[in-house]
């Protein structure tokens, strides 16, 4: 395939293994994520933060179950808040750190079997940039 015609979707095909919903330091949530998820599950904001979030430094992450999976992960349905999942989950694996260092794409592929690593770094970065711009348009802050 000529690299010029490579689209973001060519670099990634989710295998639905659920590995990204387990461990890895937690899933950060923005204020907007918290508002969206709380509204989606019809929980008051304070209750939502108390039950479903945990502090991580100065930020909040989603709580995890005893088995290490995200509190919103279900083995049969995968993400139970899919329409409003946090920005971090929505963007994966097209995340800003790949623009800072494309080698991060390789590192991420060790934990995510959906990531293809047979494209040159400049092509990966072009696709990540394209996806992030699209995300900004779809979800203005
Ligand atoms: S680890 Fe990668 S392939 Fe597995 S569910 Fe998450 S995004 Fe999909
Ligand atoms: S919010 Fe959904 S996609 Fe994100 S870690 Fe939790 S279960 Fe996985």
Query: Ligand 2: distance of its center to the CA of 2 in Å?
Result: 34
| pLDDT at position 24 | 65
CA 11 to chain centroid: 15
Exposure pattern of 58-88 as b/e (b: 16+ CB <10 Å)? Answer: eebbbbbeeeebbbbbeeeeebebeebbbbb
- Protein residues with CB under 6 Å of any ligand 1 atom: 14-20, 92, 112-114
Least confident of 11-25, 62-76, 102-116: 11-25
The ligand that comes nearest to the alpha carbon of residue 92 is: 1
| pLDDT at position 23 | 77
| pLDDT at position 140 | 83
Kindly state the average pLDDT of the residues 70-99. Answer: 95
Kindly state the average pLDDT of the residues 68-92. Answer: 94
Q: Percent of the chain at pLDDT above 90?
A: 89
Of the two residues 140 and 135, the one the predictor is more confident about is 135
Ligand 2 atom nearest 92 alpha carbon? 3
Query: Ligand 1: distance of its center to the CA of 20 in Å?
Result: 5
pTM exceeds cut of 0.85: yes
């Amino acid at each position: 395939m000529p690299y010029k015609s490579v689209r973001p979707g060519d670099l990634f095909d989710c295998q639905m293994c659920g590995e990204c919903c387990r461990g890895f330091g937690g899933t950060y949530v923005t204020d907007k994520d918290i508002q969206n998820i709380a509204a989606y599950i019809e929980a008051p904001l304070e209750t939502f933060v108390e039950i479903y979030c945990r502090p991580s430094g100065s930020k909040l992450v989603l709580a995890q179950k005893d088995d290490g999976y995200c509190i919103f992960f279900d083995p049969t349905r995968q993400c139970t808040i899919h329409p409003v999942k946090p920005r971090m989950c929505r963007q994966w694996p097209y995340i800003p750190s790949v623009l800072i260092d494309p080698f991060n794409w390789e590192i991420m592929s060790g934990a995510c079997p959906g990531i293809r690593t047979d494209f040159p770094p400049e092509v990966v970065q072009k696709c990540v940039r394209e996806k992030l711009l699209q995300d900004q348009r779809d979800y203005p802050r």
